[in-house]
Amino acid sequence: MSKRLVLLLAVTCGVAVGNLYFPQAVTPLIAEGLDVAPASAALAATAAQAGYSVGIFLLVPLGDRLPNRPLITGLLALSGAFLLAAGLAPALPVLVAAGALVGTATVAAQLIAPMAAAMAAEDRRGEVMGTLLSGSIGGMLLARGFGGVLADQLGWRAPYLVAAVVVLLLAAVLAATLPATSPSTRRPYPALLAAPLRLLRTEPDLRRSCLYQACVFGAFSAAWTGMALVVTGPVYGLGASAAGAVALVAAATMALTPGAGRWVDRRGPDAVGLVCMLGALASAGPLALGSLGGAAGLAALTAGILLLDVAMQSGMVANQARVFALRPEARGRINTAYMTCAFLGGTAGSWLGVQAFALARWPGVCAVAALLCAVALGRHLVHLRRVGRGSREAGAPAAAEPVDAPAAEGGGG
């Protein structure tokens, strides 16, 4: 794992993840270009996230069963083809279908992370994982700016077509540079698909971590989808590039995420998760002030998005630290369960955000985001209360809670 290869993989993660998010910034232009309502145009972004959930569940387990180089490059090539189809779509139904297929195929980041963890030297594994995560976060944030600016200048089709070219070039480069790997299991495909479901049934910490991320990521998706509509609407009257510019401010998260990881090492995932959920809930306040319009409203909107983004990403670090400690021998399948739930939550959040905006405009979107964060926080407070009560009854510190111990194998590994 040379530094050059790690950087190339980080760029690939960013591009793959970015394919899910640039459609959010161009939703108003899609509505105008295809002559449909903004709520209908937002289905293009929602379909991509729904497809990603399907891809994680159906395709990521194959990383344990098939050689990684042809699997990753083949999926990237499919992503490029589907992006090209989306960019040439003559009508919204075709765009939504192509977007769903893009989401299904663009799961390279979820295949690269386990592959890189296995390839990296033990004393560099944390550094490699941190670099890949920064690449994914950068793709998530910068894709909105890329999509908004390019769509403003050249139309909504341009981001899809440019992304297609970039993805196909990456597929060609990786086909020539990725080292060959051997499968880690010979289990049949149905057994690989069933393993994440068994892990969800047998691991309480995995279930609650999935709930936390699904709720907070749902709030994040609702806010981002609604923000593109409010910024380009009558309150601000700005172009799609303005929504992307707000994402550039949130790029500060890339610098803060490694610190969140060190904080988790010192304080534990439950303590860090509590702070992150409180921060996510608190972001609803400045977000709501965004309905005021003007410079003050835009500043409040940007501050709220930044706070929500930092809280969501840092909370994800805490959640992954918790779940990856459960079954070291089954991290790929645990990641499948966790990320599938997370993106199902994101998909639901995008849909709820669009519906709330149609019914109650931006304040409705903020209410949805706050409600989702409150659900996660309430569940976490119940857990902390149970842990505290159990520790007092046993006379032992909270760190010794039984649910942190690995459960019986139960076929999940």
pLDDT, tens only, 231-274: 888 888 887 666 666 666 666 777 776 677 778 778 888 999 99
Among 120, 151, 179, residue at a domain's last position: 179
Residues 119 and 75 in one domain: yes
Q: How far apart are CA 397 and CA 399, in angstroms?
A: 5
Residues 205 and 170 in one domain: no
Among 140, 156, 179, residue at a domain's last position: 179
Q: C-alpha dihedral over 25, 31, 32, 37, to 10 degrees?
A: -130
In a domain, 412, yes or no: no
pLDDT of 64 reads 79
pLDDT of 408 reads 36
- Over residues 98-126, the mean pLDDT reads 81
Q: How far apart are CA 398 and CA 269, in angstroms?
A: 12
**CATH, residue 294:** 1.20.1250.20
In a domain, 200, yes or no: yes
Q: Which of 102, 101, 140 is nearest to 15 (CA)?
A: 140
Q: How far apart are CA 356 and CA 358, in angstroms?
A: 5
Residues 28 and 150 in one domain: yes
Q: How far apart are CA 266 and CA 260, in angstroms?
A: 10
Residues 145 and 269 in one domain: no
Residues 29 and 87 in one domain: yes
pLDDT of 124 reads 62
pLDDT of 393 reads 63
Residues 210 and 289 in one domain: yes
Cβ atoms of 83 and 160 within 8 Å: the answer is: yes
Angle at 129 between CA 135 and CA 257, to 5 degrees: 65
The single-letter DSSP state of residue 180 is P
Residues 356 and 224 in one domain: yes
Q: What does pLDDT average to over the chain?
A: 85
Q: How far apart are CA 221 and CA 349, in angstroms?
A: 5
Percent of the chain residues topping a pLDDT of 70: 88
Q: State both tokens at 105.
A: 């195929």
CA 114 to centroid of chain Cα atoms = 16
Q: How far apart are CA 85 and CA 225, in angstroms?
A: 23
Residues 48 and 160 in one domain: yes
In a domain, 126, yes or no: yes
Residues 201 and 152 in one domain: no
Residues 168 and 221 in one domain: no
Question: Between 376 and 293, where is the model more confident?
Answer: 376
**Range of lowest pLDDT (119-128, 261-270, 289-298, 306-315):** 119-128
Residues 294 and 325 in one domain: yes
- Residue 80 CA: distances (Å) to CA of 57, 71, 104: 21, 14, 12
Residue 158 clears pLDDT 50, i.e. is over it: yes
Residues 47 and 148 in one domain: yes
In a domain, 409, yes or no: no
CB atoms within 10 A of CB 59: 19
Among 179, 202, 223, residue at a domain's last position: 179
Residue 138, domain extent: 1-179
In a domain, 187, yes or no: no
For the chain, the domain total comes to 2
